[in-house]
Amino acid sequence: MGNPKAFLTIGRKEAGYRPVQQRKTDFAEVELTFHDEECRTQASRCMDCGVPFCHWNCPLGNRQPEWQDAVYKGNWREAYRLLQETDDFPEFTGRVCPALCEKGCVLGLSANAPVTVRNNEAAIIEKAFSEGYVVACPPHTRTGKKVAVIGSGPAGLACANQLNRKGHTVEVFEKDERIGGLLRLGIPDFKLNKNVIDRRQALLETEGISFFCNAPVGADKKALKKMLDEYDAVCVAIGAGEPRDLRVEGRDLKGVYFALELLKQQNRVNAGTEVAPEERISAKGKRVLVIGGGDTGSDCVGTAIRQGAASVLQIEIMPKPPVDKNPATPWPQYPQILKTSSSHQEGCERRWSLDTVRFIGENGVLKQVEVAPVTWTTDENGRMTPQRAAETEILDVDMVFLAMGFVHPVYEGLLENLGVTLDGRKNVAVDSDNKSSVAKVFAAGDASYGAGLVVRAIASGRKTAAAIDRYLSTLK
């Protein structure tokens, strides 16, 4: 804490966004990165609290007060050293993490102006790359143990990185054409530029990790058995790929899509993949309805706007959350309050407490959606129940994106043929070491606890790697 009065004299300032009129015409990243001096100034606001709730709130246990101090003192190399000790990929979390740390910042409680942690994290890692502090560090010796990681999302990548550092030979198998999981194909380019993943992949490969893309594992029982025989341990990091569906009348009409159908295709198109015109999901000139008020829905909003939608409406069945504070989630918890994303600011209407009754079409093509207002009642146990109003409303729409979350990992293929036990929510059941019911098979990330966050996936990948390392040390 180099400047003990900075928190009294300097206000919070975020890195900010490109102007709306400019950014909504392209898919480039919308958020800016701090210049050195801005980052130092904001870092000086950290009070180095006796109990750092920022650290406590971060699933990775990032040591924010320590690296904020290093930044303030202009010691960027040290800031990077501290950051990378706990966070394998600050270039991902610095861009897309909802900054659970900032919600626990004491300056958030006392002045409603927490220290800018996430923006500083992004600035540190970008500075580290540009100054050449980030260099490949392959292990000095190899243990002779071999691990297969199935899935290359943030959980799989973190697990692979940690095991490789311990000297184990790590091979990552990915069913899609490129690594990254939802970082690559789910999260839009305007939130996370995919060169950032390529840059990290090059580093991981130089350090000795092998990646095999277009390599789905599990459907072929014989090949799966061979894998289990050949490797000393296997980490299942396949994500929670089963989307929540809305099985109402008209669901099969042309024009009703899952959110990821849109987002994956747009990310692929941005990467240069050619899509046949009849397969192209484009909102150009269309009236778009996004069902689901969360982050995936917001990504659909931003994507539809960039594609040139005539209008975008986002609806949510839950009531509108409070704007500033929510007594149900007091500090330092993550507040359940109204979130307005950069995509929402680009031009979208939002409505709450609306249920979808049915999709209405003509000749198999979506034309309208019938929605009904709902009122919510809460019983003595805090359980909320919706009550649909009798009077409904018809919305004229051309396209619907279902963004209601993901329920669990895909069972068919890998999990079915592995024969792993599932938990009550159909995720891979794991013990406190993230070990599954099948010998030498571990699980990490969304596959083991359901849809979550990038930061939690990295934390889970690290935890699983540590457990696999302990397990490998027991083998001859």
Residue 96 interface partner, choices ligand SF4, ligand FAD, none, CB cut-off 5-8 Å depending on type? ligand FAD
Q: What amino acid is encoded at 423 in this protein?
A: D
Q: What amino acid is encoded at 138 in this protein?
A: P
Contact pick of 97, 105, 209, 234 for ligand FAD (by CB under 6 A): 97
Residue 239 interface partner, choices ligand FAD, ligand SF4, none, CB cut-off 5-8 Å depending on type? ligand FAD
Q: Which two tokens stand for residue 261?
A: 């159908």
Contact pick of 209, 455, 467, 472 for ligand SF4 (by CB under 6 A): 455
Q: Is 151 in the site for ligand FAD (CB under 6 A)?
A: yes
Residue 174 interface partner, choices ligand FAD, ligand SF4, none, CB cut-off 5-8 Å depending on type? ligand FAD
**Contacting range for ligand SF4; rule: CB under 6 A; set: 58-66, 235-243, 262-270, 390-398:** 58-66
> Does the CA dihedral 309-310-316-317 come out positive or negative?
negative
Min dist CB 219 to ligand FAD, Å, is 7
Contact pick of 15, 30, 71, 97 for ligand SF4 (by CB under 6 A): 97
Q: Is 58 in the site for ligand SF4 (CB under 6 A)?
A: yes
Report d(CA 165, CA 203) in Å as an integer. Answer: 12
**Contacting range for ligand FAD; rule: CB under 6 A; set: 43-51, 210-218, 268-276, 419-427:** 210-218
Q: Is 64 in the site for ligand SF4 (CB under 6 A)?
A: yes
Concatenated DSSP letters for 124-177? Answer: HHHHHHHHT-------SS--S-EEEEE--SHHHHHHHHHHHHTT-EEEEE-SSS
Which residues touch 216 (CB under 8 Å, ≥6 apart)? 173, 175, 413
**Contacting range for ligand FAD; rule: CB under 6 A; set: 29-37, 232-240, 281-289, 419-427:** 232-240
> Does the CA dihedral 436-439-444-447 come out positive or negative?
negative
Give the DSSP letter of residue 252: T
Which residues touch 327 (CB under 8 Å, ≥6 apart)? none
Q: Is 457 in the site for ligand FAD (CB under 6 A)?
A: yes
Residue 287 interface partner, choices ligand SF4, ligand FAD, none, CB cut-off 5-8 Å depending on type? none
> Does the CA dihedral 17-135-100-432 come out positive or negative?
positive
Contact pick of 52, 167, 255, 452 for ligand FAD (by CB under 6 A): 452
CA-nearest of 315, 193, 186 to 260 is 186
Residue 65 interface partner, choices ligand FAD, ligand SF4, none, CB cut-off 5-8 Å depending on type? none
Contact pick of 150, 304, 397, 420 for ligand FAD (by CB under 6 A): 150
Q: For strand 146-150 and strand 233-236, is the pairing parallel, antiparallel, or unpaired?
A: parallel
Residue 459 has φ and ψ, to the nearest 5°, of -60, -40
Residue 151 interface partner, choices ligand FAD, ligand SF4, none, CB cut-off 5-8 Å depending on type? ligand FAD
Min dist CB 217 to ligand FAD, Å, is 4
Q: Which is nearer to ligand FAD, 357 or 410 (CB)?
A: 410
Between residue 98 and residue 117, which ones bind ligand SF4 under the rule CB under 6 A?
A: 99-101, 117
Residue 37 burial (C-beta neighbours within 10 Å; 0-12, 13-18, 19+): exposed
Answer left, alpha or beta for residue 345, where phi above 0 means left and psi between -120 and 50 means alpha: alpha
Residue 252 burial (C-beta neighbours within 10 Å; 0-12, 13-18, 19+): exposed
Q: Is 57 in the site for ligand FAD (CB under 6 A)?
A: no
Between residue 169 and residue 188, which ones bind ligand FAD under the rule CB under 6 A?
A: 173-176, 181-183, 186-187
Q: Give me the residues that bind ligand FAD (CB under 6 A), please.
A: 96-97, 150-156, 173-176, 181-183, 186-187, 191, 216-218, 237-239, 241, 263, 295-296, 299, 413-414, 445-447, 451-455, 457
